[in-house]
Structure 1
Amino acid sequence: MATKQKEQLAGWGNFPVSASYNVYPSSEADVAKTVKNGSLVPRGLGRSYGDQAINDDGKVVICTHLNHFLSFDEANGILECEAGVSLEEIINVFGPKGWLPMICPGTKFVTIGGAIANDIHGKAHHVDGSFFNCVISFRVMLADGTVVNASREENADLFEATFGGLGLLGVIISAKVKLRKVETTYFRQKSIKVKNLEEMLKALEEYDHFNYSVAWVDPLAKGSKLGSGVLTVGEAASVNDLPPSLKKEPLKIHKKSKLTVPFFLPGFLLNGFTVRILNRLIAFVQNSPKEFVHYEKFFFPLDMINNWNRGYGKRGFIQYQFVIPPGKEGAENVKRIMEMIATSGCTPFLNVFKKMGKGQGILSFPFEGYTLAIDFPVTKNLHAFTQKMDAEVLKAGGRIYLGKDSMLDKDTFQAMYPQYGEWIAIKRKYDPNNKFTSDIGRRLGLQS
C-alpha cells in the first residue's frame, strides 16, 4: 500500500479539483499505517459532488478495497460489512434473497462509509428518515490509531456526530446496518402532472400517504407556470401485485449498464436552448411511467448512464440542495427561490423537489420541510449567484446540504447549522490535532 505520487482528484461534479496523495488500504492494518503519518480524509466511491473527499496537498484514503461482508443475521436483516462495501454490492448479493438497503439515495454507487459520513437520504425521508436510522453501530479508527465501537449506547456522541461529519472524525472500518425485507424488487408508482407550485404543494400533501415521493420541476418555468412539473409517488410491490410477466422473476436485479459518456462533452452543448429541449423530454418521461417499475429505474435512473457527469464538460458542475421549513411562509420562500433560479441565467438542470420529515444529528442535513436539489454548470457568474441563494435560504430558516456543497462560506455555514459548536467540541475530544481534514473542512472551519 505505497503512497502514490500526487494526483488530481475531484468529487462527482468535477469541481473543484485538488492535488493529493492517494492511498488504497486493503486492511485495517493498512489504515493504521496511513493514520500515523500526516493529515488525511477518507473517501469512498467519490459520489459527493464537491470538495468533501479531497484534500489539497494532503492524503486521501480511498477505502473501496475495504469491501468485505463480515456477517449476516438473516432473522433480523442485520448486515455487518466493511465500510467500503457499496449499496450496489449489497443489492447484488442480498437482492435475490429478498433484502434491499433501507435508505437509497439517487445512486447505488455509494459506500457504507460515505453513506454515514454524508447521512444520505432518499425518496422516503418523510417515512424512513436518513441513513442514521438504519445503522446500528460502526467501528471507527481515531486519530491516535485506536479503533472504537460507536453506537447509540457506546460513544454516543461520536456516533451521532459522525453522521453528516464528512469523514472528519475518523476512518470508519466496518458497520452493522439493517436491511429491508422485500417480496419483490419492483415498485408500484403513480405520476401526477401539476401546472404550478401551488398545485405541486397540494399534491405533496394529498399523496403524503405513499412511502416514496419525489417531484421533477421545470427549473426554467416562470410566471403562472412556476413550479410546474411531475410528482411521482410509489410503494413497494408485493408478489401478488405484479402482473404475470414480472412474477416470473420477482427479485430480479439490475444488469451492468453498457451506456456511457466516453469523454467530457464540450461545455457549449449545455445552454438555455438545449436545456429547454431536455427538460421537455424529462417531463414526457416522468409523466409516462409504467405502473410497475424496477428499483433500478425507481431509485437510480441516472445510474443507467456511466460517467454521466462528463456531460457538463471539463468545467464541472455543482448540485445545490437546500431545505427550508414548511407551511405558508415556506411556500412563499420556495416560490421566491425558484423565481431566482429561473431568471438567474445559470442554466439550471436536473432538479429534484420533495418534502422531508423530521431530522436528527448535529451536522445532518435533513429536517421537516421542502427540499430542492438542482444542478448548475460552473460559470463565472455562478458563485455570486449561489451566495445570493445562500442568503435567501438562511433568511428562510433553511440550510444547505454539506454533502453536496462546493461554495458555502464559513460564516453562513455556522449560521445555518447552529449546533456547529457542539460538533466542534466532539472534534476536539476525538481529533484535537486535526488529523482528519479536507478541503471542505478547511473552507467551513471544521477544525478543533
Structure 2
Amino acid sequence: MPLKKGKLVGWGNYPVAESYILTPRSENDSRNILQDTPLIARGLGRSYGDQAVNNNRYVALCTHLNHFISWNEAEGILTCQAGVSLDEIITVFAPKGWFPMICPGTKFVTMGGAIANDIHGKAHHIDGSFVNCVISFTILLADGSIVTASRTENADLFWANFGGLGLLGIILTVTMKMRKIETTYFRQKSIAIRNLDHMLEALETYDKEYNYSVAWIDALARGKKLGRGVLSLGNGAGFNELPERLKHRPLRLHSATKLRVPFFLPGFALNGLTVRVLNKVIAVVQNSPKEFVHYDKFFFPLDIINDWNKGYGKRGFIQYQFVIPEENGKKNLTEILEMIADSGCTPFLNVFKKMGDGQGILSFPFRGYTLAIDFPVTPRLLAFTPRLDEKVLSCGGRLYLGKDALLEEKMFKEMYPQYPEWLSVKQKYDPQNKFSSDISRRLGLEAV
C-alpha cells in the first residue's frame, strides 16, 4: 500500500503534524496496516485539533471506504462503510424522502468520525447525539479481528467508541436509523435577543414548540447587552405547509458550492474592528425574515464557502466548546462571557445551544448550556485558555474533546472523572496502544 509522509492538520489548521499517510481501499488493506503502528484513522479532517493527526506516526485516510452496503426502506435502516459522509447520504437518500437523524454544523463528516466524536446538532435536547441513531457497527481491533458492537453485543466497546476519538480500532461499517421526511425545508423563526436574560427566557419559552434551536451570540457585547444575539428556531416542514412556489421541488437537494477561500488570509485581517463589523453582518443574516429555509442553510450555513477555515490565516484557530449545567447557568455564563470579552482575544462565530441528557463514557454532551467560540491562535490566547478551562471546570463543565487542541491532561481528567472506565476498555481491546494519536498522548488516553 502506498505510503507518504506529509503535513496534516485538523480543521483549525492548528497544530501541524508530520504524519505517515496510508490509504486503505478494502477490508484487507485495513488489516494489513495494523503492522504500521501507532495508527489513527482519519476521515474528512473536520475535527478541529489534533484528534486525527499522529506526529511522526501513521494515519489511515479512510475516505475511500465509502460504499453503501444495504438499505431497508421499510424500516429506514442504512448500512454503509464508515468512510461515507453525511453529504453522500443526503445526496442519495433525501430525494427518496429520508434524512440523517443527527446533523452537526457541516455535512462533510464521515460516519466513522461521527461516532468517534459522537456528533450532535441543533436538536440535542430532543434527539440526543449520534449514538441515538446508530444500531451497530463493525470495528477492526488491534489483534486483527473484526467484531460487531451494539447495545447488546460487545456493549462496552459500543459505548466507549462514542466520543472515543477513534482510539479503540478502525470502524469499518455502520448500521443506522434514518428519519422519514416529506420535504427538505424547515419552518424557521428568528428572534433578536437583547441580552442573556432574554436569551435564556426565550430558550425556555420555545423549548417545547420547536425541535431545533441554536443562537448566535455577540461575544464582544458588554454590560446590559451581554449575551445579545439572534436565536434561530425551527421544525421540519411538511409538504402541505410549503408555499406553492416550493411544492414543485419539495425534496430539493443542495447545490455544489463554487465559493472558496483561495488562500490563507493575512493575520491582521481578523481583528477587533473586523470582528465587530462581521458581527453586525451575522446579526442581520441570522435574523432572517424567511419562514421556510432549505436544510443546507438551516443545518450547514458555513458549507456554502469551501475552505472557510483559511480565513483565520496560517496561524490557525481553535474552536473552544464547553458545556455547563443549567444550575446557576445565568451567573456562570455571565462570568464566562465577561472573561471572554475582557480577554483581549478575538472571539468569532459564537454559537450557543441548550443540550439534553448525555450518554456514553467520553461523550461530551450533558444537560445544560453549550457555547462554541472560534479564537485565532495567538500567544495571548495560549495564556488565556488555561484560565478559561479552570472557570469552566469550577462551573461543573467540560470541553468537547472532538474540537479541543489545548487542554492539559490534568484538567481533562478533572473534567471527565469517568475516564478510568474508558481506559479499562482501552486496556481490554488495545493494551499495546496500536491505536493512538496526538490527542491521546496529550490527554493520557492510553493503556498502561
TM-score, shorter chain, exceeding 0.5: yes
Paired residues of 2:319 and 2:403 also in contact (CA < 8 A): yes
Q: Report what 2:308 is aligned to.
A: 308
Q: Report what 1:247 is aligned to.
A: 247
Supply the AA of the counterpart residue of 2:74: A
Supply the AA of the counterpart residue of 1:148: V
Structure 1 position 330, deviation (Å): 1.7
Structure 1 position 36, deviation (Å): 2.4
Supply the AA of the counterpart residue of 1:229: G
Aligned-residue Cα RMSD (Å) equals 0.6
Structure-2 separation of matches of 1:384 and 1:395: 18
Supply the AA of the counterpart residue of 2:195: N
Structure 1 position 381, deviation (Å): 1.1
Structure-2 separation of matches of 1:218 and 1:293: 23
**Count of aligned residue pairs for this structure pair:** 446
Supply the AA of the counterpart residue of 2:79: E
Q: Report what 2:364 is aligned to.
A: 365
Structure 1 position 289, deviation (Å): 3.7
- Deviations along 1:398-446, whole A, 9 cap, x unmatched? 0000000000000110010011000000000000000000000000000
SS in structure 1 of the partner of residue 238 of structure 2: coil
- Deviations along 1:377-398, whole A, 9 cap, x unmatched? 0001111111011000000000
Structure-2 separation of matches of 1:43 and 1:180: 27
Supply the AA of the counterpart residue of 1:272: G
Structure-1 separation of matches of 2:409 and 2:242: 51
Q: 2:33 matched to 1:34? A: yes
Structure-2 separation of matches of 1:35 and 1:45: 21
Q: Report what 1:321 is aligned to.
A: 321
Q: Report what 1:65 is aligned to.
A: 64
Structure-1 separation of matches of 2:341 and 2:8: 32
Structure-1 separation of matches of 2:290 and 2:408: 43
Structure-1 separation of matches of 2:2 and 2:260: 31
Structure 1 position 31, deviation (Å): 0.5
Structure-1 separation of matches of 2:213 and 2:36: 46
Q: Report what 1:281 is aligned to.
A: 281
Summarize the alignment of residues 183-202 of structure 1 with structure 2, pairs less than 5 Å apart: 183-202=182-201
Structure 1 position 37, deviation (Å): 2.6
Structure-2 separation of matches of 1:289 and 1:300: 18
Structure 1 position 287, deviation (Å): 1.0
Q: Report what 1:445 is aligned to.
A: 444
Structure-2 separation of matches of 1:38 and 1:232: 45
Structure 1 position 38, deviation (Å): 1.9
Q: Report what 1:260 is aligned to.
A: 260
Structure 1 position 236, deviation (Å): 0.2
Summarize the alignment of residues 201-212 of structure 1 with structure 2, pairs less than 5 Å apart: 201-209=200-208, 210-212=210-212
Paired residues of 2:189 and 2:291 also in contact (CA < 8 A): yes
Q: 2:132 matched to 1:144? A: no
Structure-1 separation of matches of 2:37 and 2:438: 15
- Deviations along 1:346-373, whole A, 9 cap, x unmatched? 1000010010000000000000000000
TM-score relative to the length of structure 2: 0.99
Q: Report what 2:92 is aligned to.
A: 93
Structure-2 separation of matches of 1:36 and 1:430: 16
Supply the AA of the counterpart residue of 2:228: S
Q: Report what 2:383 is aligned to.
A: 384
Paired residues of 1:189 and 1:232 also in contact (CA < 8 A): yes
Structure-1 separation of matches of 2:288 and 2:119: 28
- Deviations along 1:233-270, whole A, 9 cap, x unmatched? 00000000000010010000001000000110111000
SS in structure 1 of the partner of residue 188 of structure 2: strand
SS in structure 2 of the partner of residue 109 of structure 1: coil
Structure-1 separation of matches of 2:76 and 2:288: 35
Structure-1 separation of matches of 2:36 and 2:248: 55
Q: 2:356 matched to 1:350? A: no
Structure 1 position 61, deviation (Å): 0.4
Q: Report what 2:2 is aligned to.
A: 2
Any stretches of 5+ residues in structure 1 without a counterpart? none
Structure-1 separation of matches of 2:34 and 2:335: 46
Q: Report what 1:161 is aligned to.
A: 160
Paired residues of 2:36 and 2:58 also in contact (CA < 8 A): no
Any stretches of 5+ residues in structure 2 without a counterpart? none
- Deviations along 1:280-331, whole A, 9 cap, x unmatched? 000011112410000000000000000000000000000000000003x121
SS in structure 1 of the partner of residue 428 of structure 2: helix
Structure-2 separation of matches of 1:343 and 1:283: 21
Q: Identity rate of aligned residues, in percent?
A: 68
Structure-2 separation of matches of 1:138 and 1:59: 23
Structure 1 position 2, deviation (Å): 1.3
Structure-1 separation of matches of 2:235 and 2:323: 24
Paired residues of 1:264 and 1:312 also in contact (CA < 8 A): yes
- Deviations along 1:95-117, whole A, 9 cap, x unmatched? 10001100000000000000000
Supply the AA of the counterpart residue of 1:292: F
Structure 1 position 181, deviation (Å): 0.4
Structure-2 separation of matches of 1:386 and 1:246: 46
SS in structure 2 of the partner of residue 150 of structure 1: strand
Q: Report what 2:126 is aligned to.
A: 127
Structure-2 separation of matches of 1:437 and 1:278: 39
Structure-1 separation of matches of 2:225 and 2:303: 30
Q: Report what 1:297 is aligned to.
A: 297
TM-score relative to the length of structure 1: 0.99
Paired residues of 1:36 and 1:144 also in contact (CA < 8 A): no
Paired residues of 2:14 and 2:318 also in contact (CA < 8 A): yes
Structure-1 separation of matches of 2:367 and 2:36: 42
SS in structure 2 of the partner of residue 144 of structure 1: coil
Poorly superposed stretches of 4+, deviation over 3 Å: none
SS in structure 2 of the partner of residue 388 of structure 1: helix
Structure-2 separation of matches of 1:402 and 1:318: 12
- Deviations along 1:174-206, whole A, 9 cap, x unmatched? 010111000000000001111100000000000
Structure 1 position 343, deviation (Å): 1.2
Structure 1 position 56, deviation (Å): 0.3
SS in structure 1 of the partner of residue 412 of structure 2: helix
Structure 1 position 345, deviation (Å): 1.0
SS in structure 2 of the partner of residue 436 of structure 1: coil
